Amino acid sequence: GAPQLLFYKRLNPASLFPPAYEICVYPLSYSLAQLHRLRWQIGGAGALLLLGGFVASHLVALRLSMPVKKLALDSEENRAQRQRAEAALATTAEELERSTRYSADASHQLKSPVTVFRIGLESLMAREGFKPEIYEELSALLHQTHRLTHVIDDLLLLSRMDAGHLEIAAKPVNLSQLVDEWLDDLGALPDSPDVNIEKEFPRGLFVTGEKRYTSLIVQNLLENARKYNRPGGRIRVSACGNGKDVVLTVGNTGRTIPPGENIFERFHHSSTPSAASGHGIGLNLARELARLHGGDLRLVRSEDDWTEFEVRFSAVDGVNGVA
């Protein structure tokens, strides 16, 4: 049968009579049933707690793993974007290299026939017996060959700059002397307009750079000031040093530049073309050379019959005083 709990107690421990006992019997079926229910309750509660802990840990793990998954997705996306950017950069570099190579090759190929053409024109100019108008035509053609030669030289220089092959041998350059020499050369040109030249710069103003490239910057600015000027106009050239820099300013009267026009863009042509329009690389070349020298070239203003450019050079330490 069912287990029972038995208690007994002797009633006459010191008596001479036979021992008498009090016996109590308690059935354990109810207690065992309660214990069995308690075990099931504890087991069920433990299972629920275990399940709750598993669900909670799973939710926490999911929440904590979301940034990691997002980081992994972002990293993958960034890797793909980087690969696309690297591929586009490589393609651009190849196209730039091909374009630079083409410009250099084309310029070299053009130099020889232009030289032959110029020699032929000079030979014809040296002959006698032609009519005066023939000599004028030959002189105009000879001038165009020189101009074309300058364009070819500029293209070769630009191709070297684009390829990163142009290095500057920085030395002290007398900027004042360069400006004076170019102003004298421009005034001697037969087609130079009648303009008044104003100069305002100290003697012996030195900059750091390579003389031929510094001279090319000055040449481009002064030639533009002459070419786009008007009869009876003026050109003003000023320069000053402020310790670490030397600023050269070239201004001229004449046709102004429309607002928003990107005149420094390579092969740029004016939206209002004229007979004085150039080949569109002079200002671009001048600015690139100025930046290669550690300076810059910018358009200060162009309005009311006045256009002014400013180019900044690096001064030679200890040579120029503060203006």
In tens, the pLDDT along 98-124 reads 655 655 555 556 666 777 778 888 888
Class of domain 91-162: mainly alpha
Level-2 CATH architecture, domain 171-315:
2-Layer Sandwich (3.30)
Nearest alpha carbon to residue 307 among 279, 270, 281? 270
Helix (H) or strand (E) holding 137: helix 132-162
pLDDT of 323 reads: 41
Amino acid at 45: A
What is 39-80 written as a DSSP string?
A: HHHHHHHHHHHHHHHHHHHHHHHHHHHHHHHHHHHHHHHHHH
Structure-block tokens of residue 235: 């050109």
Residue 60 has pLDDT above 70, yes or no: yes
Q: Which of 170-179, 230-239, 275-284 has the lowest mean pLDDT?
A: 275-284
Residue 22 CA, distance from chain mean position: 109
The answer to whether the 91-162 and 171-315 domains have the same CATH topology is no
Task: Considering only residues 269 and 216, tell me which one the structure prediction assigns the higher pLDDT.
Answer: 216
| pLDDT score for 281 | 77
Contact call for residues 178 and 215 (beta carbons, < 8 A) = yes
Determine the angle formed by the axes of helices 282-292 and 132-162, rounding to 10 degrees.
40
- The answer, as to whether pTM is greater than 0.75, is no
3-state secondary structure (DSSP) of residue 251 = strand
pLDDT surpasses 90 at 149: no
Question: What per-residue confidence (pLDDT) applies to 318?
Answer: 53
d(CA 167, CA 154): 16
Mean pLDDT of 298-312: 94
Res 195 pLDDT > 50: yes
Instruction: Please check whether residue 155 is in contact with residue 281, taking contact to mean a CB–CB distance below 8 angstroms.
Output: yes
Lowest mean pLDDT, pick from 12-16, 124-128, 211-215, 264-268: 264-268
Domain ranges of the chain: 91-162, 171-315
- Give the separation between CA 48 and CA 56, rounded to whole angstroms: 12
Q: Output phi, psi for 74, to 5 deg.
A: -65, -40
Which pLDDT band holds residue 145 (cuts at 50, 70, 90)? confident
The yes-or-no verdict on residue 300 having pLDDT over 90 is: yes
Higher-confidence residue of 60 and 146: namely: 60
- For residue 276, what pLDDT is reported? 46
Confidence at residue 30, expressed as pLDDT on a 0 to 100 scale: 77
Q: Is the pLDDT of residue 174 over 70?
A: yes
At residue 110, the pLDDT reads 64
The distance between the two most distant Cα atoms of the chain, rounded to a whole number of Å, is 181
Angle of helix 29-126 relative to helix 132-162, nearest 10 degrees, comes to: 160
Most confident of 21-30, 46-55, 104-113, 201-210: 201-210
Whether the Cβ atoms of residue 246 and residue 207 lie closer than 8 Å to each other: yes
In 3D space, the residue among 211, 130, 142, 226 whose CA is nearest the CA of residue 177 turns out to be 211
For residues 153 and 253, which has the higher predicted lDDT (pLDDT)? Answer: 253
* Mean pLDDT, range 179-206, rounded to an integer: 82
b/e sequence 234-267, b meaning 16+ C-beta within 10 Å? bbbbbbbbeeebbbbbbbbbbbebeeeeebeeee
* pLDDT band for position 322 (cuts 50, 70, 90): very low
227 vs 61, which has greater pLDDT?
A: 227
Higher-confidence residue of 180 and 139: namely 180
More confident of the two residues 131 and 318:
131
pLDDT averaged over the chain? 80
Q: Look up residue 187 and give its two tokens.
A: 């005034």
Cβ 209 vs Cβ 172: under 8 Å: no
